[in-house]
Chain A
Amino acid sequence: MTLQKIIEILNGRVVVDAGDLNIDIRRACGSDLISDLLYFCSDSNAGGTILITGLVQPQIILTAEMINIKAIVFIRNKMPQEKTIELAKKKGVTLIVTNLSKFTSCGKLYMEGVESCPEE
Chain B
Amino acid sequence: MRETIEGSFQLIGGNFARAGEASIELKRRLTELGLSEEIIRRVSIVTFEAEMNVIIYAAAGWLRYSITPEHIKIVVEDMGPGIEDVESAMQEGYSTAPEWVREMGWGAGMGLPNMKKNSDEFKIDAVVGEGTKVEMVINLSRGK
From A9-17, A62-70, A96-104, A108-116, give the one contacting chain B. A62-70
Residues of A within 8 A of B110 (CB): 33, 35-36, 38-39
The B interface is mostly helix, strand or loop, or mixed, namely: helix
Closest to B36 in A: A44
Most chain A CB neighbours (cut-off 10 Å) among B19, B37, B38, B110: B110
Chain A nearest CB from B134 CB (Å) reads: 15
What chain A residues lie within 8 Å of B45 (beta carbons)?
Answer: 38, 42, 66-67
Stretch at the interface among B59-67, B75-83, B100-108: B100-108
User: Closest approach, in angstroms, between the C-beta of B3 and any C-beta of chain A?
Assistant: 27
A62 to B16, CA, bound (A): 12
The answer on a CB contact under 8 Å between B104 and A57 is yes
Residues 26-49 of A contacting B (Cβ, < 8 Å) = 32-36, 38-39, 42, 44
Would you give 17 A-B contacts (Cβ < 8 Å), ordered by A?
Answer: A35-B110, A36-B108, A38-B45, A38-B49, A38-B110, A39-B117, A44-B37, A53-B105, A55-B105, A57-B104, A59-B16, A59-B104, A62-B19, A63-B48, A66-B24, A66-B45, A68-B41
Known: A59-B16, A62-B19, A62-B24. 16 other contacts (CB 8 A): A32-B105, A34-B106, A35-B108, A35-B109, A35-B110, A35-B114, A38-B48, A38-B114, A55-B105, A57-B105, A60-B105, A63-B48, A63-B105, A65-B24, A66-B24, A67-B45
Give residues in A with beta carbon < 8 Å to B. Answer: 32-36, 38-39, 42, 44, 53, 55, 57, 59-60, 62-63, 65-68
